[in-house]
Amino acid sequence: MTSAVDNQPVFGALRQWFDPEKQPTVGRTPDYRFSLANERTFLAWIRTGLALIAGGLACAQFLPPLSVAHLREIIAIALLLLGAVVALRAVDHWARTERAMRLGQELPGSKFPAILALIVAAGALLLAVAVLIKAAE
Amino acid sequence: MRGSPETGDHGASAERTRLAWRRTGLSATAVGLLAARPAFRPDAGLLAWLVAAAAMAAWVALIAIAYRRSYGLRSLPPRPGRRAIPAYAMLAAALAVLGGLVVML
């Protein structure tokens, strides 16, 4: 995976988010179809993030208070945090892909989808266990 | 899709991207409505109203960005998104923060 910002770790990454075209102007403008495909991938991730945020808000508003104190709020906050992380990761990945395409480099890989899948699966399993325990009582 | 033969855009990528923006706008609408909902409770306080107002403002900004992007996609060749993309992600993250306030209410 190529780091887009070898010399300016944080600030460079932020600049790149806002203007991958100018940071610094590198490589050639790729075929617009590739850029649009990258944009659609970003949008798909943003929808994932928005869905997590909506899930957190729905938890907070529609779940009854749970037997464990503040568990409802904790679930809601966890979902909101996850949604925010997904949104920020989406823009970072978009910028790095855009830069790789300009430079004709290999597209950046990412472990994030696997991590997100594991988190969602773990959450679902925990809830399934909780439902079973409740049913057994 | 107009202009397709001239540009050779057989994948209709501009149109697909425009529809992706629209879908995303619908997701943002759901989030905005959920964030504004506590303000309509009978016992809603000032904070609930402020959160609802901020959520609606963020929603308007998100829809405006999507609208501008569809305009950019209509030109030939379509212009790829630049600053619209980080702005959209920041607003989505801001909605998550507002959601945190809603949970704390």
Size of chain B, expressed as the number of residues it contains:
105
Give the Cα separation of A99 and A35 in Å (integer).
10
Here the tokens at position A42 are: 């970003």
* Nearest beta carbon to residue A47 from set B11, B23, B97: B23
pLDDT in tens, B44-61: 889 889 999 999 999 999
pLDDT in tens, A103-116: 888 898 889 999 99
A39: pLDDT strictly greater than 80: yes
Mutate to test the interface with B, among A39, A41, A91, A98 (most CBs of B within 10 A): A39
Here the tokens at position A111 are: 């472990």
Contacts of A42 in chain B (CB under 8 A): 85, 89
- Cα B101 to chain centroid, rounded: 20
Here the tokens at position B60 are: 């308007």
Q: What is the mean pLDDT of residues A81-87?
A: 96
Contacts of B54 in chain A (CB under 8 A): none
Mutate to test the interface with B, among A29, A42, A50 (most CBs of B within 10 A): A50
Contact B89 A91 (CB under 8 A): yes
| Domain residue limits, chain B | 9-104
ipTM: 0.89
Locate tokens 């991958």: which residue?
A: A20
Neighbours of A70 (CB within 10 A): 11
**What are the per-10-residue average pLDDT scores of chain B (105 residues)?**
54 88 95 92 88 95 93 84 90 94 85
By the CB < 8 Å criterion, does B59 face chain A?
no
pTM of the predicted structure, to 2 decimals? 0.86
